[in-house]
Amino acid sequence: MKAEKQKPIGSGFGAKSTGAEVLVGIDLTGKVAVVTGGYSGIGLETTKALSAAGAEVIVPARNKEKADENLAAAGLALETRLMDLADLSSVHQFAAGVTGNRDKIHLLINNAGIMACPETRSDQGWEAQFATNHIGHFVLTKELLPYLKNAGGARVVCLSSLAHRRSAIRWDDIHFQKSPYEKWEAYGQSKTANALFATELNRRYHGEGVKAFSVHPGGIMTPLQRHLQQEEMVAMGWIDESGEISEPAKAMFKTPEQGCSTTLWCATSSNLDERGGEYCEDCDIAQRVSDQSPRYFHVEDWAVDEEQAERLWSETEKMVTAG
């Protein structure tokens, strides 16, 4: 019997579980993992936890020197390679280099991203958040697919966000070429794209041993907020006038160690052996949004709709080919 999509299953973990707790008793020795953005914020915590569990972790980085410094400061001596998600030639070069002496990749964590940045465009004219958060990871994943298939049970985890609820895919103006750029709508659309990509990736390749999930990691203060002014974060209630995390945010937000837990649960949990293509939060499969949904939880239908997921795959293929 096919499992009902977006039905929570009860993992035994929760919002405040840490990545280390999720991986207790899990041995990843001999497994190869690629973690984009794995040297900062929750990406670094993901890398640390995977490495501690025995995995060989490769970290692509737009700034390799910074990546090496951050990993060394965390006591990790890992392979890092240059890769800029907004530059597809760089993505191709990374994929060719990382697979040169390997025939399997067991885990791909599409974690890197940018948020609410000023209007910026790629060389192809693509809006930067969509280009970086979605298109770059789309191309990377496709380049690594043969190696994921060879693993005989690989998992791909795509970092989405609650912000997906800000925007479905803007089918007639994805790159804000007809209408004024709005940074949060652009970010929300890119996070919807991340969830739809996981849905379609899983549909296409689960029969060949590649499962995919998307993840809302939770509210976490990390370098992802670097484009936000203090006044804006105060207005949103994230910090107080002194620049400290506000009391309401303290109750709601997670630490980076807690923020990586759902990613690691999706990457490793045996409870998900018969699942796939779903959007997860707080170490469980999220429910679909309803009138009863809490403000900061659950997933919109548009982010897990299989027809829209298939359409996005097709449209992204066209962009990449034309670009």
Q: Is residue 85 part of a domain?
A: yes
Strands (E), the chain: 32-35, 56-61, 79-82, 107-110, 154-159, 210-216, 279-281, 284-285
The C-alpha atoms of residue 72 and residue 63 are separated, in whole angstroms, by 14
Percent of the chain with pLDDT over 90: 81
Task: Centre a 10 Å sphere on the Cβ of residue 140 and count the other Cβ atoms it contains.
Answer: 25
CA 125 to chain centre: 23
User: Is the predicted pLDDT of residue 97 greater than 50, yes or no?
Assistant: yes
SS3 label, residue 210: strand
Lowest mean pLDDT among 49-53, 82-86, 221-225, 262-266: 221-225
Q: Which of 133-142, 272-281, 295-304 has the lowest mean pLDDT?
A: 295-304
Question: Which DSSP category does 134 fall into?
Answer: I
In this prediction, residue 281 carries a pLDDT of: 96
Q: How far is it, in rounded angstroms, from Cα 46 to Cα 111? A: 9
Catalytic site includes residue 205: no
pLDDT band at 240 (very low <50, low <70, confident <90, very high): low
User: Are the beta carbons of 78 and 52 closer than 8 angstroms?
Assistant: no
- The CATH number given to whatever domain includes residue 124 is 3.40.50.720
Top-confidence residue, 233 or 304: 304
What letters, b where the CB count within 10 A reaches 16 and e where it falls short, cover 171-198? eeebbbeeeebebebbbbbbbbbbbbbb
> What 3-state DSSP class applies to 299?
strand
Give domain status of residue 225, yes or no. no
Nearest CA among 13, 119, 36 for reference residue 83: 36
pLDDT attached to residue 6 = 86
Ranked by mean pLDDT, the top range of 174-183, 231-240, 253-262 is 174-183
Angle between helices 64-73 and 41-52 (to 10 degrees): 60
Q: Which helix (H) or strand (E) holds 131?
A: none
Confidence of residue 298 (pLDDT cuts 50, 70, 90): very high
Whether residue 4 is contained in a domain is answered as no
Kindly state the tokens that stand for 144.
């690594």
Q: Residue 263 pLDDT more than 80?
A: yes
HSE toward the beta carbon, residue 104, CA cutoff 13 A: 14
**Is residue 133 over pLDDT 50?**
yes
Are the beta carbons of 46 and 257 closer than 8 angstroms?
no
- Considering only 126-135, 153-162, 240-249, 280-289, which range has the smallest mean pLDDT? 240-249
**Residue at 248 is within a domain:** no
pLDDT bracket for residue 254 (50, 70, 90): confident
Please give the structure tokens belonging to residue 216.
């809302």
Instruction: Decide if 129 contacts 190 (C-beta within 8 A).
Output: yes
Lowest mean pLDDT among 39-53, 185-199, 214-228, 282-296: 214-228
Is 246 within a domain?
A: no
What's the confidence (pLDDT) of residue 1?
A: 33
What are 211's strand-pairing partners?
Answer: 155
Q: What is the pLDDT of residues 143-193, one digit of tens each?
A: 999 999 999 999 999 999 999 999 999 999 999 999 999 999 999 999 999
Q: Strands 279-281, 284-285: parallel, antiparallel or unpaired by DSSP?
A: antiparallel
Confidence of residue 45 (pLDDT cuts 50, 70, 90): very high
Which among 147, 187, 205, 279 is annotated as catalytic?
A: 187
241 belongs to a structural domain: no
Report how many domains make up the chain. Answer: 1
- Its domain, for residue 263, covers 19-219+254-322
- What distance separates the 2 farthest-apart alpha carbons in the chain? 55
pLDDT at 46: 98
The Cα–Cα gap between 132 and 224 comes to 13
* Structural domain includes residue 11: no
As a dihedral over the C-alpha atoms of residue 78, residue 83, residue 86, residue 87, rounded to 10 degrees, the angle is -170
Residue 229 within a domain: no
User: With contact defined as beta carbons under 8 Å apart, do 189 and 143 qualify?
Assistant: no
The tokens describing 169, both together, are 């895919």
β-partners of residue 245 are 239
How far apart are the C-alpha atoms of 220 and 240, rounded to whole Å?
15
Average pLDDT along the chain = 91
